[in-house]
Chain A
Amino acid sequence: MHNRHMSRYFFVFVFPTLLAFLLSFVIPFILGIVLSFTDFTSIIDAKWVGISNYIEAFSNKDFLNALRFTVKIAIVTVITVNFFAMCLALLLTRKIRGTNVFRAIFFMPNLIGGIVLGYIWQLIINGVLYKFGVTLTYKPEYGFWGLVILMNWQMIGYMMVIYIAAIQSIPNTLIEAAKIDGASPFQILTRIKLPIIMPSITICLFLTMANSFKNFDSNLALTAGAPSRKTAMLALDIYNTFYNTLNGEGVGQAKAVVFFIIVAVIAFLQLKLTRRKEVDNV
């Protein structure tokens, strides 16, 4: 009796969310995959062309270049963002004056949109490079490090907040016990703190990687791919294919599907790997 009652309401409660999920995610997602096999201008007049879009995507050297560039950016930013965020979190969980103010300050860049950050950093970096008679577009390396700096600036604060929350939830008794047992601060960090906050590290690694892979707005505002698309990341390359190439819609869509698969696979592997290192909470 009780059970039947529940199942009747089950649908009522799930339906709104399910509908939203279907409309905003499942249907566009399936449509997107279908469209990648077609030739289309607007989605109401698509024509089936098989896998030719995929062949064209993979024979496109801009795409492969963007893929390489994105992977490089992702590797560097995942390491630097998490390293600096962790350092800040450890610093700001000590009992020093004004930690709340510092936390707020470090978090703030995260509230600024990527386009704005992109233009701000373009001005700053160009301002410095002017002194040497060059600009951000002079070499792809400049754009690369510019993007790394920008993304660090943007994401460190956010990751820091997650780490701080995790560190604060470590029971004091554990640390005290370790101290009594004669553990050094470094041992406390590596043997106690890090294993306990491993779930947060998983989340942070995952978030930084996802964000760096999908970065579009700051890339567009900072360099827009200059010089010669050597600093275009995947999302920007897909955008360029989709909108600026004659009959490029299908190819752009195919690239987006490939992009999805790559990101999904990497994210899944990474989750598996870091999960293994997690310890059950005490």
Chain B
Amino acid sequence: MYLMKKGRGFVAFLLVLVMVCGVLSACTSEEAENNQQPSQSNNNEKVDEIYFLNFKPEIADVYNKIAADYEAETGIKVKVVTAASGTYEQTLKSEIAKSEPPTIFQINGPIGYQTWKEYCLDLKDTKLYSFLSDPNLAITSNGGVYGIPYVVEGYGIIYNNAIMEKYFALSNRATDFKSMDEINNFEKLKALVEDMQAHKDELGIEGVFASTSLAPGEAWRWETHLANIPFYYEFKDKQNYDNPILAGLASNEIAFKYSENYKKIFDLYINNSCTEKAMLGTKTVNDSMAEFALGKVAMVQNGNWAWAQIKGVEGNVVDEKDIKFLPIYIDVEGEESQGLCIGTENYLAINSKVSEAKQKASIEFIEWLFSSEKGKDYVVNELGFIAPFNTFEEDEKPKDPLAREVLNWMEKDGVSSVPWVFAVFPSQNFKNTFADALLEYVQGNKSWDEVTKTVIESWKVEKAKGE
């Protein structure tokens, strides 16, 4: 009897243990098995494999082809692992602790460099760095070069010119614009959009703008990309800094000075959309791009990377020559000279904690990709990158229409691009909080003042965590 009792107590204890083991081991077990330092001894050994942790799932297949070609040419195997969308940081965290860590990985800018600086090799003396057409684009710290941008991207309002032409041909419209070239500030954009919304049935569309996607994890076009513009103007107003990005990086607190401007453009999106406001919480970016591709809407805010997505939608009716970019105007003084938002959050870094031979092989692979004929062909025609390297000739510029539009806007006289200041947003948590507030705003549960307050507060809290 005594034994029975004791046995039961033990069983109870075991049950408790088993129940909670899932809680903690979920976070730790994988790392525990792999916590050996990579061996540093085999410096001169011939490297047969390098490891590239890819950030972009949409082009993972292309990288596999490139890896196969590179192996055929040089005998070096390139292991390409792709992190699922939105999980790059956690994938990198667990991969880098393994005994065969990634030799090439990617950081998202000055903030990402802060997290990963222990692992970033100085690339100052590499050919790769000398390839950069503008060395200022690289991530530098104390004279060292730690991140090389490999693609620049641009975003704005994508519009379907066929629908615009249809509108300009209407006889009963309230505006007198004759072409999209005349739209160069918020006031004009607003007049145009609202009149188009009024004539949506004649134009055969369900709304001017595609859904403002606010499903969880799908709000980056608003909390990151759209937010970039008011914050750019806010940081630009700060004196004593070389550029708005540095000003933003130094801001422990923000005023969200252009919050009203953000509201203006955001309201324009949600009030002239094909989707009712209360339904936006279920919409995804894919939904929005499909609406645009199927011709249900005339405009959608997104970047040049969206072309592949638009083209890939079954039943796509948007012609390649009709797809154009318009800058995002938010009613700021002098915005007539504002261009698209152009920058990058894709910087390649080489793992400083793998053997020297592997570091060298990794750099050679990247150099091959961006300077050899074969590599460049992949970059231009299959990856569709707008690569910021001087190794690309004039006729090697990308062929996809949005990428060409980005280049056009970059070259336009009297127009200057908006840099990507969102690289200095304090954390993903800040962006999520921003998105949460936007969702509650469109559902009518939060006033705009509260949204503004939430954003200001979240910046302060999250920035303090990075100190």
Contact = CB atoms under 8 A, between A and B. Distances in A.
B23 A25 contact: no
Interface stretch (B160-168, B184-192, B437-445): B437-445
B31 interface: yes
B35 A44 contact: yes
A184 interface: no
A48 interface: no
A214 B25 contact: no
Given A130-B279, A245-B427, A23 B27 contact: no
Contacts of B281: 135-138, 226-227
A31 B29 CA distance: 9
Contacts, number: 152
A260 interface: yes
B28 A28 contact: yes
Contact of B24 (A44, A137, A257): A257
B8 A275 contact: yes
A272 B11 CA distance: 12
Contacts of A27: 32
Interface in A189-243: 206, 210, 214, 223-229, 235, 238, 240, 242-243
A243 B90 contact: yes
Interface string A248-282: 10001100110110011001100110010000000
A29 interface: yes
A202 B453 CA distance: 48
Nearest to A261: B20
Contacts of B439: 137, 226-228
Contacts of B363: none
Contact of A31 (B32, B432, B436): B32
A246 B466 contact: yes
Contact of B23 (A130, A246, A248, A260): A260
A161 to B, nearest CB: 18
Contacts of B116: 41
Contact of A214 (B23, B279, B426, B429): B23
Contacts of A31: 28, 31-32
Contacts of B432: 240, 244
A147 interface: no
Nearest to B462: A246
Given A133-B278, A246-B427, A28 B25 contact: yes
B443 A247 contact: no
Given A223-B216, A246-B426, A259 B25 contact: no
B184 to A, nearest CB: 37
A24 interface: yes
B89 interface: yes
A35 B426 CA distance: 24
Interface residues of B, number: 52
Interface in A1-56: 23-25, 27-29, 31-33, 35, 41-45
Interface in B33-60: 33, 35, 37
Contacts of B35: 43-44
Contacts of A25: 17, 21, 25
A268 B89 CA distance: 37
A134 interface: yes
Nearest to A123: B282
A253 B428 CA distance: 18
A136 B429 CA distance: 22
Contacts of B279: 130, 135
Q: Name which of A31, A253, A275 has the most chain B CB atoms within 10 A of its CB.
A: A31
A100 to B, nearest CB: 30
B429 A245 contact: yes
A33 B440 CA distance: 37
Contacts of A243: 89-90, 93, 428
B19 A138 contact: no
B22 interface: yes
A80 interface: no
A93 interface: no
Contacts of B282: 126, 135-137
Interface in B77-134: 89-90, 93-94, 96-97, 111, 115-116, 118
Nearest to B29: A28
B93 A42 contact: yes
Contacts of B20: 260, 263-264, 267
B132 to A, nearest CB: 28
B276 A133 contact: yes
Given A224-B217, A225-B216, A226-B281, A244 B16 contact: no
B327 to A, nearest CB: 30
B465 interface: yes
A228 B25 contact: no
Nearest to A134: B278
Nearest to A228: B436
Q: Name which of A33, A210, A253, A275 has the most chain B CB atoms within 10 A of its CB.
A: A210
B459 to A, nearest CB: 12
Nearest to A247: B465
Contacts of A126: 282
B217 A267 contact: no
Given A42-B31, A43-B35, A246-B462, 11 more contacts: A25-B25, A42-B96, A133-B276, A137-B439, A227-B436, A228-B440, A243-B89, A246-B426, A247-B466, A252-B27, A272-B12
30 contacts: A24-B25, A25-B25, A27-B32, A28-B24, A29-B25, A32-B24, A41-B93, A42-B94, A133-B276, A134-B443, A135-B282, A136-B282, A137-B439, A223-B216, A224-B217, A225-B216, A227-B443, A229-B436, A240-B432, A244-B427, A245-B429, A246-B115, A248-B465, A252-B27, A256-B24, A259-B23, A264-B16, A267-B15, A268-B12, A271-B12
6 closest A-B pairs by beta carbon, nearest first, are A224-B216, A137-B281, A228-B436, A244-B428, A246-B427, A28-B28
